[in-house]
Amino acid sequence: MSTKAELIKELIDMQTKFIKFEHENGMHPDDYYNPGAGHELETYKNDFMEKAIQVLDMAHEEKILPGNVNSSRIFFLFKTIS
């Protein structure tokens, strides 16, 4: 399993590649929401979300205070607004 720092670095690398793609190719909503098979961004949205949730879960494990919002609530919120 990756450490939180490694996952954060991967997220930053992914975001950097995304920005590069956007600058080189422009960005149509279909590129992000429905990229299709073989597209450079085919798995980007799901991969990024999975890594972000892993980081969130790790952060919650580190936090000592009770009553943390768990990742399933965040995931539900993310799915609701996306």
pLDDT at residue 49 in the model = 92
State the chain's maximal CA–CA distance in angstroms.
46
pLDDT tens-place string over residues 41-70 = 889 989 999 999 999 888 887 765 555 555
> What would the DSSP string read from start to end of 31-76?
HHH---TT-TTTTHHHHHHHHHHHHHHHHHHH--SS-PPPHHHHHH
Residues 41 and 31: their CA atoms lie apart, in Å, by: 7
Domain spans in the chain, listed from the N-terminal domain onward? 4-81
pTM (2 decimals)? 0.68
Q: How confident is the model at residue 40 (pLDDT cuts 50, 70, 90)?
A: confident
Residues 38 and 42: their CA atoms lie apart, in Å, by: 6
